[in-house]
Chains A and B, each alone.
Chain A
Amino acid sequence: GAVVSQHPSWVICKSGTSVKIECRSLDFQATTMFWYRQFPKQSLMLMATSNEGSKATYEQGVEKDKFLINHASLTLSTLTVTSAHPEDSSFYICSARDSGSGRRAKNIQYFGAGTRLSVL
Chain B
Amino acid sequence: EDKVVQSPLSLVVHEGDTVTLNCSYEVTNFRSLLWYKQEKKAPTFLFMLTSSGIEKKSGRLSSILDKKELFSILNITATQTGDSAVYLCAGETSGSRLTFGEGTQLTVNP
B85 at the interface (CB under 8 A from A): no
Residue numbers in B under 8 Å from A4 (CB-CB): 42
Q: How many residues of A contact B (CB 8 A)?
A: 24
Q: Closest CB-CB distance, A86 to chain B, in whole Å? A: 22
* A76-99 contact mask (Cβ, 8 Å, vs B): 1 or 0: 000000000000000001010100
A interface SS class: strand
Does B99 lie at the interface of the complex (its beta carbon under 8 Å from any beta carbon of A)? yes
Most buried by B among A43, A110, A112: A43
Cβ contact within 8 Å between B88 and A49: no
Contact A49 B96 (CB under 8 A): yes
Contact indicator B97/A49 (Cβ below 8 Å): yes
A110 to B98, CA, bound (A): 12
- The secondary-structure label for the interface of chain B is strand
CB distance from B5 to the nearest CB of A (A): 11
**Chain A contacts for B11, CB-based, 8 A:** none
Question: Is A43 touching B88 in the complex (CB atoms < 8 A)?
Answer: yes
For the complex, is B36 an interface residue (Cβ under 8 Å from A)?
A: yes
- Of A43, A49, A107, A113, the contact of B101 (CB 8 Å cutoff): A43
Using an 8 Å CB-CB cutoff, how does the interface string of B8-50 with A read, 1 for contact, 0 for none? 0000000000000000000000011010100001111100100
Task: Report A22-77 residues with CB < 8 Å from chain B CB.
Answer: 32, 34, 42-46, 49
* In the complex with contacts A34-B98, A44-B88, A108-B45 CB distance below 8 A: yes
The residues of B that contact A110 with a CB separation of less than 8 Å are 45
- Give the Cβ gap from B27 to chain A, nearest Cβ, in Å: 13
Residues from chain A with Cβ under 8 Å of B101 in the complex: 43
Complex: chain B residue closest to A32, CB-CB = B96
**Pair A97/B102 contact, Cβ less than 8 Å:** no
Given contacts A43-B88, A93-B42, A113-B42, contact A108 B34 (CB under 8 A): yes
Could you tell me if B96 and A107 are in contact, using CB atoms closer than 8 angstroms? Answer: yes
On whether the beta carbons of A43 and B97 are closer than 8 Å, the reply is: no
Residue contact A46 to B103, C-beta cutoff 8 Å? no
The answer to whether B41 and A113 touch across the interface, beta carbons within 8 angstroms, is yes
CB of B98 within 8 A of CB of A107, answer: no
